[in-house]
Chain A
Amino acid sequence: MNEWLPLLIPATSLIAALIIFFVDEESRGLRTFVNLTTASLKVLLVVFLLIGVSRGENYRFTLPLFFGFEIVLHADALSLLFVSLSALLWLVTTIYAIGYMDVSHGHDRSRFFGFFSLCVSATTGIALAGNLFTFLVFYELLTITTYPLVTHRGGADAIKAGRIYLIYTLGGGALLLVAIVWLKSIVGAANFVTGGMLIPFVASHQLELTIIFTMLIIGFGVKAALIPLHGWLPVAMVAPAPVSALLHAVAVVKAGAFGIMRIVYDVYGPGVCTELGVRPWLAAAAAATIIYGSMRALRQDDFKRRLAYSTVSQVSYIILGAAIIGPLATVGGLVHLFHQGIMKITMFFVAGNLAEEVHIKKISQMNGLGRRMPITMASFSIAACAMVGIPPMAGFISKWYLGLGAIAAGQGWVVAVLLGSTLLNAAYFLPIVYRVWFKEPDVPFDPPENGRKLEIHLYLLIPPLFTALCVLAAGIFAGMPFSPLAWAKLIALREYGLQ
């Protein structure tokens, strides 16, 4: 059982995809049933895994391939952080997508949901990958499966966005391939090892390892949207709302950030990174991205574009956490992987709801919207305050640990970056909150259709509300066992060999 469980998790979504591809376009009930059953099943499996891994059980699946390459799926604490994020948010996003696609945007739904499931399958594969080769396989698979989702709407904009997305990500993938093969030539069979595996090679291969590290960071940096590799992300905003939500919160951007974490913690190891002297550079790149993304976000009037630049900025918190030496900063970065996911997905659900229900895409049109859509906008306000890092929301916990880690490592400048980012986040999120609640509407909003009492269809209302409550809970109950923070601490203890 322990051998098959890591395989079963990506397989659930894969099976779902295969079934859905063959479901008739009009069989909504069947498709919804398959979607929700597999998504729920996956959450259950992940809960099972979580308990097992916290007890220290070992889950590993190995499938040898050619030339000593092998597919390894392995559940450790770090992969569980990502798997649980994607399982949870997949379920929520599936509910949202059912509402979004089936209620109004009805075209090519089977294609949409099929690739949607494939995309999640690839994401969990990335999370569970036990070596760089497996990681790369799923990473490329993710690129391919998200393309039809980005271009789902059709039209020139979507096709162009899809092309830009492919150019960026395939380019990054090619660089990764070279780097991984090169690394393999030095190290040999290389499974991820908690705490790193390159210690014996540092002395003899210092230069090569530094170059490979740079290539890997650039390769993953494309998806993690490190500047100047972030160009695809704002363009990919043409995708339907659930896809944007998934792209920004779980799948693509996170895969890049997660890749960087794997490189830093489980391939190179914190000690080796310090020895090679690459961490200050990584920290500088992350810091620059944090500030630059926020500056760009300030000037966007298009709601989704502002959110996109905010993602650019926020994802680099995770990388910053990896770039600072010491367990506390690691906790900060890891926990932000989860926190950023639930915060940002809430915002994209909200953006989708606005476009869907009142046809609003610009921030300047959002005056007084709180009265028309109170629950949606309350969810947004919670997420926005959390992004700024106002306690007791989730974002504050991340910021607090990053700050603690920076000070413990003697890197006071990081605190200055965090503060700058706080102020910038406040400058581009709080005015929206102000508009929504404290300004009078310019024009009356469209009333709910055919006498519906709710502000929007229930399927579109529950997901943002649920994730917003998660944002609150992740902060307020940060001290609970199995909270994101508790799990991040567990990972940090294992990575630094403190447990």
Chain B
Amino acid sequence: MIPQFVIPGWMCVGVTGLPLVLALFLMIPRLRPLIYRLTGPIALPSALIALIAQPGHFGESVTYLLGVSAGFDQIGRVFLFFTAMMWFFAGVHATGYVKGPNKARFFACFLIAMTGNFGLTVANDAVAYYSLFALMSFASYGLVVHSGDALAKRASLVYIVLVVIGEALVFPAAVMGAAGADSVLLPDIRAYLATAPELPVVALLVLVGFSIKAGVLPLHVWLPLAHPAAPTPASAVLSGCMIKAGVLGWIRFLPLGEAALPAIGQGAAVIGVVTMFWGLCVGLTQSNPKALLAYSSVSKMGVMLLLIGLSLYEPELWKTASVAMLVYACFHGINKGALFLGCSVTPSAKRGVAVYVGLAVLAASFAGFPLLAGAMAKFPLKYALKGSGLPWATVIKTLLPLTTVLTAFVMARFVVLARPRGDQGGHKADRLQTTAWWGSILLLLAFPLVLSAFGIFDKASAAFSPKYWWGALWPVLLAAGISYAVIRLGYRAALEIPMGDILGIYERVLSFIVRLVPTRIRNLITRETSAPLHMGISDQWKQNFWTFFTKGEIRLSTWINGGLIYLALLVAIILILGW
């Protein structure tokens, strides 16, 4: 058993802040090569304190922000551990992967986003969480836009717009919670919200606001664009770790297990299920391996939202659902991160058994192959679903094998797309990059150890009982077999849904709305003028002022004409009457 220690708050802040300190040293050009090499290892202290921290201890300081509280609970520990480990592998991978004149900019953004992502797992107050979330989100803009090509430009624009909207939605929720609770501490806010009349509003804002980061339908559109656009190590942490910050946001801001919101809970569950299937179905049609993985992430975040929804429907479920979420998030973080790293290692690799095996292990694990991490993560999920009292929870349970089969197909397709070809021009992975990839695969294989280190293994241990093996095996075999046959027969996918699927609809709706706005107002907002300095508002005003009077005068003159006729009539009537 790993010994546990009480980690003081300042140490949480200090250790998770290390990447930011490292980023500052990038300003000295001489030190840059060293810092590129340290980018991965700087994540390890965070993983270590997550491992040895005794949960339930928080340090507070009123000096910073509006009063900061930092420390570990069980959820934060697990999140920080897998997050830090994946940032470690991605950081090592990035050292050789990222080249070009903007290398320093990339690493600056990478390290800043890392601090944000680490910090928010130990943040215990709303302002710190929100701040670090923002730090991470805005810094990762630099990762998405890095390559500067057309895809990156489009992806980063969609990304930043949604990030700002997400920030704007979470802000009122945080303010409402803090105003009511008269405290910025997340436990206080949750306790207040549990009985607060404004809970439905706050819950909706939190659910929608963080679902942008998590990538839940219909706000997932940035994800399938950004993941392929970003350099591979960045996609790995985006998909493996950063989207989990959205999930953690739901957990931190919602009074899960304390308050029931049946309608919103059911709605969230439905959206979760739809997201699950949407991600898989659209993912199957992708021909860019990273876009395919992005859709797969969308689908898995649907699972997370489903659990949140079910727990909002009946608070008693949160106890089992939280464990399921922890295990699942941890599994997905490691496995998806490793799959992404594979995207840059395998295509350029020489045809060799080892690379094939690595790729196959990752795909098989993700598809739920017996004894691998994916299969283990499924058991707590099943327990949670079994415990749910939601009338249609049984429907979800029966649909679950279907998602397993679909996932297996998605993974089979991924292996086809990312298989070693040895002919990939341009990027070629060096030894360090390959080692980082193998490291992440090893961590995935050690998944049972990771779970037992955090004391959440027992729920997943059923995966070791042989009676479940066949149930986990057949979808993988089916998918692998059919995919093999399809490739042999030479069929190609007939349908390819563009990355970002419904984004096109949004853009069309948006341009339609813009066209609805009167031209004058539109001009006011969109057109940039370069009028001479003195042609300011005052001149325009003057102009309007005069037009007002000119118009007024015209109106006045018509009145006078009308009045004259009226007067003439009046005189005529009087004359007639008087006569």
Residues of A within 8 A of B (CB): 157, 160-161, 164, 228, 230-232, 234-235, 237-238, 295-296, 298-302, 305, 328, 362-364, 385, 388-392, 396-397, 399-400, 403-404, 407-408, 415, 418-419, 422-423, 426, 430, 434, 437-438, 440, 475-480, 485
Contact = CB atoms under 8 A, between A and B. Distances in A.
Contact of B175 (A234, A301, A364, A407): A407
A295 B66 contact: no
The listed residue with most B CB atoms (<10 A of its CB), out of A296, A397, A418, A437, is: A437
Contacts of B138: 385, 390
Contact of B536 (A231, A407, A437, A477): A231
B529 A426 contact: no
A426 B164 contact: yes
B536 to A, nearest CB: 5
Interface string B3-41: 000000000000000000000000000000000000000
Contacts of B164: 388, 422-423, 426, 430
A489 to B, nearest CB: 11
B577 interface: no
Contact of A300 (B61, B179, B528): B528
B134 A391 contact: yes
A202 B168 CA distance: 41
Interface string B59-70: 001111111100
Interface in B36-79: 61-68
Interface of B: 61-68, 105, 127, 130-131, 134, 138, 142, 145, 148, 156, 160, 164-165, 167-168, 171-172, 175-176, 178-180, 523-530, 533-534, 536-538, 541
B533 A157 contact: yes
Given A299-B527, A400-B178, 5 more contacts: A230-B537, A234-B536, A403-B172, A408-B179, A479-B64
A338 to B, nearest CB: 16
Contacts of B62: 479
Contact of A392 (B131, B178, B179, B537): B131
Contact of B538 (A235, A388, A438, A476): A235
B168 A422 contact: yes
A390 B127 contact: no
Given A391-B131, A480-B63, A160 B528 contact: no
A344 B575 CA distance: 74
B269 to A, nearest CB: 28
A391 B167 CA distance: 10
Nearest to A167: B538
B131 A235 contact: no
A237 B175 CA distance: 36
A478 B66 contact: yes
B66 A479 contact: yes
A3 B178 CA distance: 43
B537 A234 contact: yes
B178 A404 contact: yes
Contacts of A419: 168, 171-172
B253 to A, nearest CB: 15
A237 B533 contact: yes
B172 A415 contact: yes
Nearest to A430: B160
A-B CB proximity, top 8 nearest? A391-B131, A403-B175, A231-B538, A407-B179, A301-B528, A392-B131, A426-B164, A235-B536
A3 B179 CA distance: 41
A408 B176 CA distance: 9
A295 B517 CA distance: 14
A299 B534 contact: no
Nearest to B180: A407
B175 A477 contact: no
A418 B528 CA distance: 24
10 contacts: A301-B530, A328-B179, A364-B528, A385-B138, A391-B130, A419-B171, A437-B105, A476-B65, A477-B64, A479-B64
Nearest to A235: B536
Contacts of A296: 524, 537
Contacts of A389: 171
A142 B148 CA distance: 49
Contacts of B160: 430
B534 A161 contact: yes
A404 B63 CA distance: 20
Contacts of A391: 65, 127, 130-131, 134
A415 B66 contact: no
B66 A397 contact: yes
Contacts of A418: 171
Contacts of B175: 400, 403-404, 407, 415
A422 B538 contact: no
Contacts of A437: 105, 142
B540 to A, nearest CB: 9
A477 B63 contact: yes
Contacts of A364: 528
Given A231-B537, A479-B66, A362 B530 contact: yes
A363 B530 CA distance: 11
Nearest to A392: B131
A290 to B, nearest CB: 15
Contacts of B179: 328, 403-404, 407-408
A305 B180 CA distance: 40
B151 to A, nearest CB: 14
Contacts of A430: 160, 164
Contacts of A423: 164-165, 168
Nearest to A476: B64
